[in-house]
Structure 1
Amino acid sequence: MKIGIEWVILFEPNKFYYRRFVMKVKVSVDKDLCTACALCYDEVPEVYEDSGDGIAQVKAEVGGDGAIIEGDLAQRVLEVTEECPSGALVTEVIEE
């Protein structure tokens, strides 16, 4: 499954056009599960940060817990979610 920004060709009789699909994800951190491994804020510092005690949190600048992330950054968030050893990163793909 390809995720991220995609261009799709849509056909109609005697014409076609392109439509751009942009991936969107909703992100949060389960602080009770986080083991402070620093993977998320090392890999995606635009979205995650250290809350002060090593536990990850979603940056307030992007909207805090429940923030919507789009495009290539959303792809990186999904990748780090899969790599998180504790499963503390909660990422939900938003359908348009």
Structure 2
Amino acid sequence: MHHSVCHNRPKVVLVGPPGAGKSTIGRRLARALSLPLVDSDQLIEEEAGKSCGEVFSELGEPAFRELEARHVQQALGTGGVVSLGGGAVLT
């Protein structure tokens, strides 16, 4: 297999409703596969300095979904295990 072709593509993408275990399974998969883990919710929280729930409450759903879409796109541009936020399917 030629690795440069897949270098910037996610190897595993986890999607599901809030509380489904995406982050937990993502950490375990990343560790087992020796791959980095990128969590779109974590990217949002790091940028905002607060929880996704707080950001959602402050921005409202339309603005939050725009922010989420940007971070989902960023996460999908990485290699490794990607855990998408519970609302990522909506965006």
Using structure 2 for the length normalisation, give the TM-score.
0.33
Higher RCO (C-alpha under 8 Å, 6+ residues apart): 2
Quick check: which has more Rg, 1 or 2?
1
Q: Counting strand residues as a fraction of each chain, which structure ranks higher?
A: 1
Using structure 1 for the length normalisation, give the TM-score.
0.32
